[in-house]
Structure 1
Amino acid sequence: MLNFEEKLAIIEEFPELERVNVSLGRVNFQFNESVSDKKNVVYHLHPNGNGFVYAGRLQNYQTNDKGMANIRDFSAKELKQIIKESIISLTAVEKPVSETAIIGENQEERWVNAENEQLLLINEDEAWNIYFGLNLEETFSTYEEAEMFLVEEGFKRS
């Protein structure tokens, strides 16, 4: 198990995190560029070595009801990995529920034009469908046909 100083040294390797000292010698590290209301990546790192990292949007980590994973027994490699994944998860804009309903588990690509309009290209049931919001705009039998259409319409992969 890493001690407090070792964990602190690893966490401080992430320049995008801001240290905030809290009560009882504990330390939080916040990611102020978060696109969500969650800012604490590291929460209540305690001098006894216990602490938490936000993993509410991550898989493969056991979390509490606040989405925090206990890092007491993490190795240096595991700690670096979960912090990196946490930061990435807090920079990713969550898909609206309506898009999630359309996309499901299907392969998708986002395309955008000069006016910042977005289209979704989704592989569904052996067809390539283009959506604008919830509306189905076009359907193609191959990816190449869909790609050609999008390029001709002034869209680029985003």
Structure 2
Amino acid sequence: MLTFEEKLAIIESFPELKRNDISLGRVNFHFEESVKDKKIVVYRLHPNGNGFVYAEQIENRNYATDSKGMVNIRHFTEDELRDVIQQSIASLSESEPIAETWTNREGEKLHLVEESGVWNIYTGNVLEATHATYHAAADYLYQEGFRL
């Protein structure tokens, strides 16, 4: 496990992140150039090595996020930490709306589109559902038998 100091050094190597010291020795890092409302990339990095990185908008992520879209980085390696931070910054830099087409076994297609901060699911031009997060929308589609 990387130490607090090692994690700080890795995170501080990203010039686009701004350090913000908070209570109890914890540190947040903000991405001020974010095109989304979300600006915190690294959340509550603690001297004990625990901390979180915003990962909800990252496509094809291989780790679970909590209800705030954060992934715990306590046991991340240096490569994993650099990778998730780079992906987080990239996800907050995208100005193009994200759109995906999901298909079920019968060949039916649904379109998942990010619009104005929510995730809408369409059948053609008909709105089928709206979800607050990508994760919630993807879970819904997956449970209904649709895949990317």
Q: TM-score, normalising length from structure 1?
A: 0.61
Instruction: Give SS of 1:64's match.
Output: coil
Relative to structure 1, the CA distance from residue 23 to residue 71 in structure 2 (aligned partners, 3 Å threshold; closer, same or farther) is: same
Q: Structure 2: how far apart are the matches of 1:55 and 1:77?
A: 16
Note the aligned Cα RMSD (angstroms).
Answer: 1.8
Is 1:21–2:21 an aligned residue pair? yes
The percent of aligned pairs where both chains have the same amino acid is 61
Deviations 1:37-68 (A, max 9, x none): 10000000000000000001122221000000
Q: Structure 2: how far apart are the matches of 1:94 and 1:56?
A: 16
Instruction: Give 1:94 deviation, angstroms.
Output: 4.9
Larger Rg: 1
Q: Structure 1: how far apart are the matches of 2:92 and 2:63?
A: 16
Count, aligned residues: 102
Is 1:80–2:82 an aligned residue pair? yes
Is 1:61–2:54 an aligned residue pair? no
**Alignment gaps of 5+ in structure 1:** 106-133, 135-158
Amino acid paired to 1:47: P
Return structure 1 stretches of 4+ with deviation > 6 angstroms.
none
Instruction: Give SS of 1:93's match.
Output: coil
Instruction: Give SS of 1:104's match.
Output: strand
**Alignment gaps of 5+ in structure 2:** 103-124, 126-148
Q: Structure 2: how far apart are the matches of 1:16 and 1:90?
A: 12
